[in-house]
Structure 1
Amino acid sequence: MIDQVRPSDVDAWLAAQGGDGVVLDVREPAELQAAAVQPGPFHVLSIPMGDVPSQISRLDPDQPIACLCHHGARSMRVAMFLAQNGFTRVANIAGGIDAWSRERDPSVPRY
């Protein structure tokens, strides 16, 4: 089962997983230009959903990864794909960047 983490709880989830985590943004480049998450107590890595299978080697299966998209559907699919490929510390950021803007950082534009 994939953990569902609200944007306000990402830091706590990553810390509980051992810290030094990644927010994996799976949105398309145009979406990243519209709104982006800034690194915090985590790294941000952007790989569009369709490129994740070919770029999976960029990810560390031992590192906690919280997946992010616009509303949470694409990121959930990526999180499930990662889990099926041996990644054990994976979460979906419920509500995506839209919820991130509403719940965590209102300076992130909504689109």
Structure 2
Amino acid sequence: MVPQIRPGQLDDWLQAHAGQQPLVLDVREPLEVQRASVRPQGFELLHIPMNQIPQRLAELDPARPVACLCHHGMRSLQVAMFLARNGFDEVANVAGGIDAWTLERDPDVPRY
């Protein structure tokens, strides 16, 4: 089972993985990222659309903690489960996605 973390809990997740260079993996489409994006604070942000993950898997380090993010949390959950099946031990899903991010973490991120 992939852990579900709310955007408001992300700081705790980041602290739990301090020193391991946590990554937030945004799996939304490029137009969605243009419309609304998060600002990295204490983590690296990488955008790889969901449909490109299998082909670009080698760009990700399975030893690195990864929190997957999408619009509402469904696509990112699928990607997180895929990563977990492919050797990623520290993977989580940002439950509620960027929509919840706006409500819980950064009201400056536009909702769509």
> Matches of 1:23 and 1:73 in 2, distance apart?
15
Please, which runs of 5 or more residues in structure 2 have no aligned partner? none
Q: Is 1:12 aligned with 2:4?
A: no
TM-score of the superposed pair, with normalisation by structure 1: 0.97
The Cα of 1:11 is off from its aligned counterpart by 2.0
> Matches of 1:57 and 1:28 in 2, distance apart?
20
Corresponding position of 1:41? 42
Corresponding position of 1:100? 101
Please, which runs of 5 or more residues in structure 1 have no aligned partner? none
The Cα of 1:66 is off from its aligned counterpart by 0.3
CA RMSD of superposed structures (Å): 0.8
* Residues 37-70 of structure 1: CA deviation (Å, up to 9, x unaligned): 1111000000000000000111110111000000
Question: Size of the alignment, in residue pairs?
Answer: 111
Aligned pairs (5 A) from 1:53-92: 53-92=54-93
> Matches of 1:64 and 1:93 in 2, distance apart?
13
Give % identity.
Answer: 59
With 8-17 and 64-73 compared, the bigger mean Cα shift is at: 8-17
Greater than 2 Å deviation, 4+ residue runs: none
